[in-house]
Structure formats: C-alpha cells, structure tokens
Amino acid sequence: MKRKNINIEYKEYLNKEELSKEEILLLERAAQAAESAYAPYSNFHVGAALLLSNGEIVAASNQENAAYPSGLCAERVAVFYAHAKYPAESILSMAVTAMVDGKLCKTPTYPCGACRQVLSESEKRAGSPIKIIIGGEKVIQIVEGISSLLPFAFDNVSK
C-alpha cells in the first residue's frame, strides 16, 4: 500500500476590500443574482456570476421545482447559459454567494458535486483553469481551478 495526500491551496480574505475590483464586482453580481432565485422549498438563494474571456459577465440564480430534482443550481444555470450564448468564449472566473432570509450567509457556500463536475468540463473545454471566488459575509475564499474543489473529477476520455 502506498499513501498519498492531496493538498488544497486557497486564499482566504476577511475583508472584501482586499480583493480586486473585478472580484468585488463578480461577488456583487452573484449577490444580486441570488435575490432573483426561485427557492420556495429550501429558501436557500444562490447566485453565480461568471466573467467570460470576451469581458461579458453572466449571472444566474438557482431555480427549484416541486418535482425535485428538476431544479438547477445557480452555477450550472450560469455555465450552461454562458456556453449557449457565447460558445467560443471561456470562463475566466466565477463568484458564488448564498443567502437565507435575504441575508448573505456568514461563511462560503461551495458548489455541489454536480456543479463542480460541470466546471471541470468547462475548464477542459477552455484549456485553462477557472478562478472560483466563494463569498460569505465574513469570509471570502478563492481557489485557482476546480481541481482544488474536485481533485478526482470524472473524465469520460480516460482509458
């Protein structure tokens, strides 16, 4: 048997003002998107904002449905819309925020496994990592590439 370790590197900020203007803008757009979430069952409102290689920002929110699991997470709504509207563009960075009862969650809320897998394939399509900014009211964390959040991504071309 051989033991191996996975190390995850991320940046953590306790003050939004330490971020770049671009990162702050993405977090603000993600928070605005969370306000438009359709989440009558969970009351968990998530927003995602993507910066594309053409400079466009695409924002989306989670959309629930009584016929669970027919709803979709904010991250996948944003990624799928971006790829449909701007198929030649890559995603440079993504900000994610979550709210409950109209208030930003105190700590970061990470993308679910399905969203991580979609982000992994988006990185593969583009050939470059996506910076992921996860914002909470008191803590903001940034990872450079989805492999920090999904080290063992499914790869359907592996043989």
Residue 158: the pLDDT is 55
State pTM to two decimals: 0.93
> Does residue 144 belong to any structural domain of this protein?
yes
> Does residue 54 belong to any structural domain of this protein?
yes
Q: 85: phi > 0 → left, psi -120 to 50 → alpha, else beta; which? A: alpha
**Which of 75, 89, 123, 144 is labelled catalytic?**
75
Range of the domain at 105: 11-148
Q: With a cut of 70, say whether residue 159 has pLDDT above it.
A: no
Q: Quick check: is 56 catalytic? A: no
> Does residue 86 belong to any structural domain of this protein?
yes
Angle, nearest 10°, between helix axes 74-85 and 21-35? 110
**CA dist., res. 20 & res. 30, Å (int):** 15
Question: In this structure, what are the phi and psi dihedrals at residue 56, rounded to the nearest 5 degrees?
Answer: -70, 150
Residue indicated by tokens 């583009």:
126
Task: Taking the CA atoms of 100, 104, 106 and 108 in sequence, report the sign of the dihedral they define.
Answer: positive
> Does residue 4 belong to any structural domain of this protein?
no
Give the model confidence (pLDDT) of 3-14 as tens digits. 999 999 999 999
For the segment 21-43, the average pLDDT, to the nearest whole number, is: 97
Give the model confidence (pLDDT) of 69-118 as tens digits. 899 999 999 999 999 999 999 999 999 999 999 999 999 999 999 999 99
147 half-sphere exposure, CB direction, 13 A CA radius: 9
**How many structural domains does the chain have?**
1
> Does residue 76 belong to any structural domain of this protein?
yes
**CA dist., res. 21 & res. 19, Å (int):** 7
> Does residue 20 belong to any structural domain of this protein?
yes
95 token code pair: 């900000």
